[in-house]
């Protein structure tokens, strides 16, 4: 499996073409607005734009394939000539159509779409999720969250490599079937995932941006701070992930993250 070509950590900007995503839902439902936002993120330093047409926030309702295609395809097509585009989907047909429209990375929260990536010769993200968005936050439980999450994503990465996927990223799936303690434990042990992934020639992708556990920090027993009030924690956790060796971070706030990526790359990666 070829290692992702990384001289410094990459910044993946989040672009949700949905009415209900937990942070940017409803802002970019019009393709023209989404394309403007994508270009803005590129100007702010995004290396990739991750286009999604189905929210995976806790409790989200599934979106049918036709509607998801209608949302994402025009945006992928418009941006693919200007920036590397990934498609955030768990549906094989949406992944394949987005790749035909120019996407070169399948960002797959379901952890199942490596055959699509192998067939089309594009990259794939092996993300960990326990359950589905509908039920994943009801009773998250692990005997050993680090071993179970790392084992799952690295096993899937091995299968993808064996199937011929040319570029693989592993992602602990922060917030996907995990308590705040699980998320913080996974972040604390990120360097171990980076080492395990490196043995496979894979990189590590981390997405903490604006997630609920950040609103809970320092507020035991209280309601989490609202999503618009989680920028500092997003930048702090993203910078931590970069400093631990993550090769890519997935964020809504691109400019500050691009600065962090420029500052925190591992020296051996910065040296090119």
> Based on CB atoms, which residue is closest to ligand HH2, 27 or 39?
27
CB–CB of 186/178 below 8 Å? yes
- For residues 256 and 258, give the distance between their C-alpha atoms in angstroms, rounded to a whole number: 5
Q: How far is the CB of 22 from ligand HH2 (least distance, A)?
A: 4
3-class secondary-structure state, position 125? strand
Assess whether 37 carries a catalytic annotation: no
> Based on CB atoms, which residue is closest to ligand HH2, 173 or 245?
173
CB–CB of 190/170 below 8 Å? no
- Using CB under 6 A as the binding rule, whether residue 244 contacts ligand HH2 is answered as no
Task: Give the number of other CB atoms < 10 A from CB of residue 272.
Answer: 8
Which region holds residue 103: left if phi is over 0, alpha if psi is between -120 and 50, else beta?
A: beta
Among 171, 215, 234, 238, binds ligand HH2 (CB under 6 A): 171
CB–CB of 132/177 below 8 Å? no
What track of x and - describes contact with ligand HH2 for positions 102 through 131 (by CB under 6 A)? Answer: -----x-x---------------x-x----
Closest by CA to 41, choosing from 252, 262, 265, is: 252
Q: What residues between 206 and 235 interact with ligand HH2 by CB under 6 A?
A: 207
CB–CB of 205/151 below 8 Å? no
- Using CB under 6 A as the binding rule, whether residue 174 contacts ligand HH2 is answered as yes
Chain residue at closest Cβ approach to ligand HH2: 207
Assess whether 178 carries a catalytic annotation: no
> Based on CB atoms, which residue is closest to ligand HH2, 15 or 258?
15
- For residues 230 and 42, give the distance between their C-alpha atoms in angstroms, rounded to a whole number: 22
Among 8, 48, 55, 74, binds ligand HH2 (CB under 6 A): 55
**Considering only 53-61, 97-105, 151-159, 218-226, which stretch makes contact with ligand HH2 by CB under 6 A?**
53-61
Give me the catalytic one of 8, 91, 178, 211: 211
Among 17, 71, 72, 88, binds ligand HH2 (CB under 6 A): 88
Distances in Å between the Cα of 77 and the Cα atoms of 71, 84, 89, 182 are 11, 11, 16, 37
Task: Give the number of other CB atoms < 10 A from CB of residue 54.
Answer: 26
**Considering only 13-21, 40-48, 160-168, 228-236, which stretch makes contact with ligand HH2 by CB under 6 A?**
13-21
DSSP H helical ranges for 58-144: 65-80, 92-100, 114-120
Residues forming contacts to ligand HH2 in the complex (CB under 6 A) are 14, 16, 18, 21-23, 52, 55-57, 88, 107, 109, 125, 127, 171, 173-174, 205, 207, 250
Q: Which residues are the active-site residues?
A: 211, 250
């Amino acid at each position: 499996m070829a290692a992702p070509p990384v001289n410094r950590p990459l910044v993946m900007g989040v672009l949700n073409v949905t009415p209900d995503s937990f942070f940017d839902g409803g802002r970019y439902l019009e393709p023209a607005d989404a394309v403007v936002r994508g270009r803005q993120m590129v100007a702010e330093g995004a290396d990739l734009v991750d286009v999604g047409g189905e929210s995976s926030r806790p409790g989200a309702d599934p979106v049918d394939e036709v509607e998801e295609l209608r949302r994402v395809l025009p945006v992928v097509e418009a941006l693919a000539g200007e920036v590397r585009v990934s498609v955030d989907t768990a549906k094989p047909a949406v992944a394949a159509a987005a790749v035909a429209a120019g996407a070169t990375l399948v960002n797959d929260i379901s952890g199942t779409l490596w055959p699509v990536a192998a067939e089309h010769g594009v990259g794939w993200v092996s993300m960990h999720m326990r359950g589905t968005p509908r039920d994943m936050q009801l009773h998250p439980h692990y005997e050993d969250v680090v071993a179970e999450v790392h084992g799952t994503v690295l096993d899937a990465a091995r299968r993808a490599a064996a199937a011929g996927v040319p570029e693989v990223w592993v992602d602990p799936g922060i917030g996907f079937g995990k308590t705040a303690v699980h998320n913080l434990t996974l972040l604390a042990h990120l360097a171990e995932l980076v080492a395990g992934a490196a043995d496979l020639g894979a990189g590590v992708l981390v997405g903490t941006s604006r997630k609920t556990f950040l609103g809970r920090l320092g507020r035991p027993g209280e309601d989490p701070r609202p999503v618009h009030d989680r920028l500092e924690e997003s930048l702090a956790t993203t910078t931590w992930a970069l400093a631990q060796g993550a090769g890519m971070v997935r964020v809504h706030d691109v400019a500050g993250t691009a600065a962090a990526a420029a500052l925190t790359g591992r020296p051996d990666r910065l040296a090119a």
